[in-house]
Amino acid sequence: MHNVQWADRSAGAAGVCLRQPIVHCALFIVHCLLFILFSCFTFHPFHTSLTQMEFDPKSQTFEISVRVFTDDFETALTKENGGKPLHLNLGQKQDKLVEQYVRKHFAVAGADRKPIPVTYVGYEQEADAQWVYLEMPYAGKSQNVFIKQDLFIDLFADQVNLVTIQLNQVKKTVVFRNNQPVQAVTL
């Protein structure tokens, strides 16, 4: 009997019942398309970079990789390039400008504040990010150093730069913000 009542109600309003799902479905599709459209053109809601410093005992060097979001990096490089727009995903290598920017904003110095030389290796794209590769000689002895990591801090007030250091099975992470762009670290 329950089925008969349902059939009677739907039979009287068949036109309305059929139109409502179509309207709701169309509105749902429009909302989904708008969401996809706007999400494609919005930027990530946070500003961060990740630097990994891993000691290689064979070569007595720190292998350093810096991961940054491409859009943030392009903004910084455009500013560094005198305002001339720069796009990293167009197949043109920008090693000179990338190296210049990274050297200006990432450095390691000994306890005496004398810079430790860092060699620029290159960079590559991965999805929406760029990886910049560096190498730094290190004798393997425990020492105090100063690390400067202020990538994008002049561009974004909420910028956070994480530096993870792995040396002889010991791993530590240091957080850099605009009020702490240089920090003392014991390696």
Write out pLDDT tens, residues 115-157: 999 999 999 999 889 999 999 999 877 789 999 999 999 999 9
**Mean pLDDT across 28-38:** 52
Q: What percent of the chain has pLDDT over 70?
A: 75
DSSP per-residue codes, the chain: -HHHHHHHHHHHTHHHHHHHHHHHHHHHHHHHHHHHHHHHHSPPSS-EEEEEEEEETTTTEEEEEEEEEHHHHHHHHHHHTTT----GGGS---HHHHHHHHHHHEEEEETT-PBPP-EEEEEEEETTEEEEEEEEE--SS--EEEEEE-TTTTT-TT-EEEEEEEETTEEEEEEEBTTBSEEEEE-
pLDDT at 21: 59
pLDDT at 2: 44
